[in-house]
Amino acid sequence: MDDLYLDNIDEFVNDQNKIVTYKWLSLTLGVHVNLAKQMLYHYLDQKRKEGSARLHATYLVSGKFVENGTTSHKVSVVREDQLEDAKSKMSLTVSVHVYSVQKAVLKDSGPLYSADYDAVKENLRNCSRYSAIRCADAVPRSSAEVQQACETTQAPPPETEQIKANHSNLASKPTSKQPKGIMGMFANKNVSKNQDSSKEIKLEQKEVTPVVETSKTKPAPKTNPVTNFFAKQAASKYFNNPISHTVGRTRYFPLDSKTKRLEHSDSEEEKNESRRKKRRRIKKPEPDSSDDEVIPDSPPQLQEKRDPSPSPEIQVKKEPVAVSHSDVSFHI
């Protein structure tokens, strides 16, 4: 029984021309690493005694090494001929053992890495089974626990000082301190409406509204197309809002001379509801139609499409563009 492994190693080294490292041997034979190291030594020893010494070995030497007055712990893999030299350089040798046995002379240590790589990759699940250290904490979680952990990390606590609503995943009503004024109305309504849509788009648009607010002071601002577009987006989202107060609404006019749809926004309490429902229904097939390589429409082109069409279609066209824009512009 004891010598079976010798035959195994013989087969690996001579017949298959493998580089047999201790780790590979331990994983292949299913033995403790220290035992594998001893097995390799035994094999080497026996073969050398027999005289069929066409084998080469590499050793692992580790110990304390003093260099320019600094001591460091050094771990190195050396060829057999360099072994004594390496040992003499260390001021304190901690461990020496056989690292690998192979038929050919290794000029380079690269193959040692690749020899282990495949074996480790196959046995990743239980790579520490044969090691000399056990860690009590290192038990993989069940998939249910992982799911739970994902959800808790997905919803970090919102910063109360920021003018943001809570995630729609967590709460339908924002529980954090309500920001005052216009933002409060935005935050309130946007959250309750955001059940289906992706969080990101909503955040984008919420973030946009402060931009819109701050720029309202200029009667005819020289906005670049991007902010103009966002302003339109926000306006449309806002415009869906049943609590779309007149205060906010009037502010959009100076910014958006190009869009005519704002003129519709006078009486839409009822229309909003139906539009919202319509929006939701239409929205579902969208993820299929939009793929990652959709280049967002440039703002002027979007406007031409928008003018003759009624508002629900605007919403429809908005969504994929919003998604891409969020991919393009907002990712940091």
Partner 1 sequence: MFSEVSAPQEGSCSLLLCRPGSEDQEPSVFDRVKPAYSPCSERFKLGERSFNRQYAHIYATRLMQMSPLLTERAQQKWGADVRIRKLCDLQMGEQCCIVGTLFKHMELQPSILKEISEEHNLLPQPPRTRYISESDELILEDELQRIKLEGNIDVDKFVTGSVIAIYGAEKNDGKFTVDDFCTADLPPQAPRTTLSSDRFVLLLSGLGLGGSHADSMLALQLLVDMVTGHLGDQGEQSGASTISRVLLAGNLLSQSTQDKDASTKAKYLTKKTQAGTVDAMRLLDEMLMQLVSSVPVDVMPGQYDPTNYTLPQQPLHHCMFPLSSSYPTLQLASNPHQATLDGVRILGTSGQNVKDIQKYSSMDSHLEILENTLRLRHLAPTAPDTLGCYPFYLKDPFILEECPHVYFSGNAPSYQAKRITGAEGQEVLLVAIPEFSSTQTACLVNLRTLECEPIRFSSFSAGDDEESEMNISH
Q: Is 80 in the site for partner 1 (CB under 8 A)?
A: no
Residue 287 tokens read as 């993820």
Q: Which of the stretches 12-20, 151-159, 220-228, 315-323 binds partner 1 when contact is defined by CB under 8 A? A: 151-159
The total of other beta-carbon atoms located within 10 Å of residue 101's CB is: 24
Q: Which is nearer to partner 1, 5 or 252 (CB)?
A: 5
Binding mask 291-310 for partner 1 (x = CB under 8 A): --x-x---------------
Asked whether 260 and 185 are in contact (CB, 8 A), the reply is no
For partner 1 (CB under 8 A), the number of binding residues is 86
How far is 170 from 114, CA to CA, in rounded Å? 47
Radius of gyration of the chain (CA): 34
Q: Which residues between 190 and 229 bind partner 1 (CB under 8 A)?
A: 203, 207, 210-211, 214
Q: Which residues between 163 and 192 bind partner 1 (CB under 8 A)?
A: 163-164
Nearest CA among 112, 117, 110 for reference residue 101 = 112
Q: To the nearest whole angstrom, how small is the minimum distance from the Cβ of residue 236 to partner 1?
A: 19
Residue 97 burial by Cβ neighbours in a 10 Å radius (0-12, 13-18, 19+): middle
Residue 53: CA count within 13 A, CB half-sphere: 6
Q: Is 248 in the site for partner 1 (CB under 8 A)?
A: no
How far is 2 from 35, CA to CA, in rounded Å? 12
Q: Which is nearer to partner 1, 97 or 276 (CB)?
A: 97
User: Which residue in 11, 53, 94, 286 binds partner 1 (CB under 8 A)?
Assistant: 94
Binding mask 101-140 for partner 1 (x = CB under 8 A): -----xxxxx-xx--xx--xx--x--xx-xxxxxxxxxxx
Q: Which is nearer to partner 1, 112 or 185 (CB)?
A: 112
